[in-house]
Amino acid sequence: MKRRDFIKLSAGFGAAFVIQQSPAQAQTKTVLKAADVHPSGYPTVEAMVRMGKKLEAATNGRLSIQMFPSMQLGGEKEMIEQAQLGALQIARISVGAVGPVVDDVNVFNLPFVFRNSRQMEKVIDGEIGDELLAKISANDKAGLIGLCWMNAGSRNIYNNKRPVRTLADLKGLKIRMIGNPRFVDTMNALGGNGVALGFDQVFSSMQTGVVDGAENNSPSFVAQNHYQVAKYFTMTEHLIIPEIVVFSRVSWQKLSPDDQALIKKFSKEMQAEQRVLWYEAENAAIAKMKAAGTEIITDIDKKPFQDAVKPVWDKYGAKYAAMIKRIEAVQ
């Protein structure tokens, strides 16, 4: 089935999400479809499942969430398209995937824009985070409501050819990147060959040699079994990209103001709960990587990497100059 046909078919199924009458309780039940590319048990998925339980308890079963993990409804691009149509209500997506839809968030997609993950958390927890969520919601073309942020740690380079400690080690390596020009340009600036591929294609592409490696956080590296085909994992932390939970605007407008407020409340709680789950997952992932024989490279000088991406900042950063100053000011 062609992806376009799949989206249309999904929209047809999704249209029925609102009305499920319960004769016994004489009330309308609403089942909200939520999707994630990660598997069950992954921090973002588990946090969403917990939110669903809260929502169901608070409304006596009137509102509930049906979770579709493991790319059951496609990759992040497909999830965005389904949410825009109202075939999907809630999607957990990377800022990298949202950037082409809402340009304001692309400031987070610049390499080394955050000093570390802790600073990133302070940014998304504060007025900058709230402001960017509001911009997503206000963007008519996006068709999305920004609910909350999730921690996705730092992105690091891994491959099946050799350890990467210097820019020279990256030269000639084909590295999968999220399909956002900023990311492909970032890898090219670092000396590798950036290849835009869907997340669902990474494992097989490394197996077959289409790419030599990819870049991601350690929990994703383990959850997607990439450690089975990539031996070398370098803590470059070149990108620290938070993730966003969005709601379909089409579906949002069918909810009462009280239900909207309740979902926003539980979403903010989910933002905090996911963070605890995230750090637990990071620790578990590193332990599993070590047990599997993954070579984790931490002894690198990041300064040359930071200097190398200056062309990316020159190309994309000017329009975000004011926001970048605000981010830098967050301690």
The per-residue pLDDT for range 250-259, each reduced to its tens digit, is: 999 999 999 9
What is the extent of the structural domain holding 314? 155-240+284-329
The answer to whether 115 touches 262, Cβ cutoff 8 Å, is: no
Residues 184 and 123 in one domain: no
Residues 88 and 225 in one domain: no
The answer to whether 233 touches 220, Cβ cutoff 8 Å, is: no
- What pLDDT, on a 0 to 100 scale, did the predictor assign at position 72? 96
Please give the structure tokens belonging to residue 207: 């197996």
The answer to whether 283 touches 222, Cβ cutoff 8 Å, is: no
pLDDT above 90 covers what percent of the chain? 87
What are the distances in angstroms from CA 23 to CA 26, 154, 163, 167, 241?
Answer: 5, 49, 63, 65, 46
CATH code for the domain of 106: 3.40.190.170
Q: 162-216: per-residue pLDDT in tens?
A: 999 999 999 999 999 988 899 999 999 999 999 999 888 999 999 999 999 999 9
Provide the domain count of the chain: 2
* Better-predicted residue by pLDDT, 116 or 23: 116
Q: 13-50: per-residue pLDDT in tens?
A: 444 355 344 444 447 899 999 999 999 999 999 999 99
Residue with tokens 């690091």: 156
Residues 46 and 60 in one domain: yes
Residues 18 and 114 in one domain: yes
Residues 255 and 106 in one domain: yes
Q: pTM of this prediction?
A: 0.87
- What pLDDT, on a 0 to 100 scale, did the predictor assign at position 20? 45
The answer to whether 104 touches 32, Cβ cutoff 8 Å, is: no
Residues 249 and 225 in one domain: no
Single-letter amino acid, residue 188: N
Residues 225 and 140 in one domain: no
Residues 204 and 176 in one domain: yes
Residues 217 and 166 in one domain: yes
What are the distances in angstroms from CA 124 to CA 47, 115, 146, 166, 327?
Answer: 17, 14, 12, 31, 10
DSSP character string of 16-57 = GGS-EEETTTTEEEEEEEEE-SSPTTSHHHHHHHHHHHHHHH
Residue with tokens 């609910």: 147
Tell me the sheet residues that pair with 216: 156
pLDDT-derived band of residue 61, with 50, 70 and 90 as boundaries?
A: very high
**Is residue 81 scored above 50 in pLDDT?**
yes
Q: 245-290: per-residue pLDDT in tens?
A: 999 999 999 999 999 999 999 999 999 999 999 999 999 999 999 9
| Of the candidates 36, 18, 25, the residue with the CA atom closest to the CA atom of residue 224 | 36
Residues 143 and 30 in one domain: yes
Long-range contacts of 265-268 (CB under 8 A, 24+ apart): 266/51, 266/54, 266/55, 266/58, 267/51, 267/147, 267/148, 268/148
Residues 204 and 184 in one domain: yes
Please give the structure tokens belonging to residue 321: 């100059």
Cα separation, 177 vs 99, in Å, equals: 14
Spatial strand order of the sheet with 193-196 comes to 193-196, 174-177, 213-216, 155-159, 232-239, 295-297
**Is residue 305 scored above 80 in pLDDT?**
yes
Residues 137 and 165 in one domain: no
